[in-house]
Chain A
Amino acid sequence: MSERVVSDHRISRKLQFAVSAAVLCVAVTGCGSVADREGAAREAALDFHRAIEAGDFDRACGLLTPATRQALEQDDSCPTALHDADLPSGDQVGVVEVWGQAAQVGLGPDTVFLTVFDGSWLVRAVGCQPDPPGPYDCSVEAG
């Protein structure tokens, strides 16, 4: 009986260690797999587009980075400015690129640029069209 108890105790200790290591890893470094990070960035971009298509501009504003939101609020409120921006719609996910704290997600005719803020992906620029050889030309971006 005592052997069984010791064995269970060891498994429990190992499990505790594995869980603690995983939690510590995610909490401290945010080190999910590449697929996890790409999935999270894709979901954040889709979430933003769904909010726009549903006319829920308050929610969409909550998914922008503080700087992008501030840039939108220069002349009007954020929801009004987003409404007026007339962003292209589309939920067909194209290219998803995640590098460090930055991501790019293709959604239909649109390209969305995101960045990590407090552990979540927030939209930095949206309504972006390629404009080679320079940066993308975006209808909403931080100033």
Chain B
Amino acid sequence: MLRDNGLFIAFALLFLGALVGQALTGVAYYNDQQLAENLQPISVVRYVTSSSFAVDVAENWQSEYLQFLLYIVGTIYLVQRGSPESKEVGEEGLETDEEQKVAEHAEPDSPRWARIRGFRLAVYSRSLALVMGLVFGLSWLAQSIAGRAAYNEEQLNQLQDPVGWVRYIGSSEFWNRTLQNWQSEFLAVASMVVLSIFLRQRGSPQSKPVGSAHEATGVEG
């Protein structure tokens, strides 16, 4: 059980550990700012239920899910010669039903929704991108709502008027938070695609086998 799911369990624990660390360092930073403005510090419990914590969490979530969404959809139509992250050049597109093992080409152990043409197959064929897109959309919406609340608290602390949601999502604050996360995600993907052409990590399925040619595309180790 543990061995079968080690990758998920390890990352789930890392996620929880990092989230706790973010909460503890976040409340310390928030309280430093409160004291600098002659305001009262708050407890960690109040901080983790605050809009300040929520916006910091949501802005990172949305960018990660956007990264995966774009990667999942982008690699259908775009290829990179020599990258294990890419399909072979010439294989761009949704591929045939036979290649995708759907409908009459389904195998005995194929998922139920992959076997019969219709609405279920259409949904299931896009389910990974749909869920990633949904989580991205909800996280971005949460960022905008929590971000506005945190921004308005800061506005009031600086003796300025709060702003409405529409004005907030057009503000430099909202887009700066958004774009500073997006740029790092896009850079990470671009680096991975290119570096994996020339560099190797023995044993990792994210890398080509160490002895594979630089020109070999779509080969995982």
Binding site for B on A (CB under 8 A): 28-31, 65-67, 97, 99-104, 113, 115-118, 124-125, 128, 130, 134-136, 138, 141-142
What's the nearest-Cβ distance from chain B to residue A47, in Å?
A: 19
Interface flag for B183 (CB, 8 Å): no
A31/B49 contact (C-beta < 8 A), A100-B150, A135-B158, A135-B160 known: yes
Q: Does B180 contact A (CB under 8 A)?
A: no
Interface flag for B201 (CB, 8 Å)? no
- A97 B152 Cβ-Cβ under 8 A: yes
Whether B50 lies near A100 (C-beta < 8 A) is yes
**Interface members, chain B 156-172 (any A CB < 8 Å):** 156-162
Given A65-B38, A100-B52, A104-B162, are A29 and B45 neighbors across the interface (CB < 8 Å)? Answer: yes
Cα–Cα distance between A142 and B38 once the two chains are bound (Å): 8
Query: In the complex, which residues 99-143 of chain B have their Cβ closer than 8 Å to any Cβ of chain A?
Result: none
B58 within 8 A of A: no
Q: Is the CB of B152 within 8 A of A125?
A: no
The reply to whether B40 and A97 contact each other, CB–CB distance below 8 Å, is no
Taking Cβ atoms with an 8 Å cutoff, the residues of B that contact A are: 34, 38-40, 42-43, 45-46, 49-52, 149-150, 152-153, 155-162
User: Which one of B46, B149, B160 lies within 8 Å of A29 (CB-CB)?
Assistant: B46
Among the interface residues B38, B45, B52, which one has the most CB atoms of the partner chain A within 10 A?
B38
Task: Chain B residues near A66: list those with CB within 8 A.
Answer: 38
Using Cβ atoms and an 8 Å threshold, which residues of chain B touch A100? 50-52, 149-150, 152-153
| Complex-state Cα separation, A64 to B157, whole angstroms | 15
Residues of chain A within 8 A (CB-CB) of B50 are: 100
Which B residues lie within 8 Å of A125 (CB)?
Answer: 159
Which of B42, B52, B159 is the one whose CB lies under 8 Å from A141?
A: B159
B46 with A102: CB separation less than 8 A: no
B156 touches A113 (CB 8 A): yes
Q: With A30-B46, A31-B49 in contact, is A101–B161 under 8 Å at CB?
A: no
With A29-B46, A113-B159 as known contacts, state yes or no: A101 contacts B153, CB within 8 Å. yes
Chain A residues near B149: list those with CB within 8 A. 99-100
Given known pairs A30-B46, A100-B51, the reply for A136 and B160 (CB within 8 Å) is yes
Identity of the chain B residue whose Cβ is nearest the Cβ of A130 in the assembled complex: B161
